[in-house]
Amino acid sequence: MADNSIRERILLAVAAAVRPAAEAFGAGLHRSPAVAISREQCPALVVFPEIDAITERANDRVTRELTVRLVALTRAVPPAVPETAADRLLTAAHAALMTDGTLGGLALGLREVDAEWEIEDADAVAVALPARYRITYRTLANDLSTLG
């Protein structure tokens, strides 16, 4: 059986890095859920891999950039402010993620790309606060499971 790809190991490292921050806020941690997060599952921190792009090829090495989106999802009934809760959760997850920019030696670097605000008004206000991170790493051209 082959080893997991470096990409998969990076995604596992991202989840492991932000898990304590999620737990400190009583939030569940989810990876690429196929269905919407229910009200009962909030607050939640969700990890979505978005794209894995090749940026450079040199001999038998390939440099890649994996874009990962973290989403802090909170719900509240006014006068509670879900935006503030989502911001606190994402701030803690950001600090935890940025503690080790190499994710245990798997990555060459980690940088924040952007953040957005998505507010939805239903019977309670739901806020999704996504932030994107770009993780640069290198593999062998013929083996996605070996660091380059």
Instruction: Report pLDDT digits (tens) over 54-82.
Output: 999 999 999 999 999 999 999 877 777 88
Please give the Cα distance from 60 to 94 (Å, whole number).
33
Question: Domain 6-140 falls in which CATH fold?
Answer: Alpha-Beta Plaits (3.30.70)
Q: Using one digit for the tens of pLDDT, what is the confidence trace for 93-126?
A: 999 999 999 999 999 999 999 988 776 665 567 8
Q: Where are the domains of the chain?
A: 6-140
At 143, the amino acid letter reads: D
| Residue found by looking up tokens 């794209």 in the block | 51
pTM here is 0.91
Q: Using one digit for the tens of pLDDT, what is the confidence trace for 24-58?
A: 999 999 999 888 888 889 999 999 999 999 999 99
State residue 83's pLDDT score: 87
How would DSSP label each residue in 37-82? PPGGG-SEEEEEEEEEEEEEEETTEEEEEEEEEEEEEEEE-TTS-H
Of 128 and 124, which is predicted with more confidence?
Answer: 128
pLDDT at 132 over 50: yes
State residue 145's pLDDT score: 94
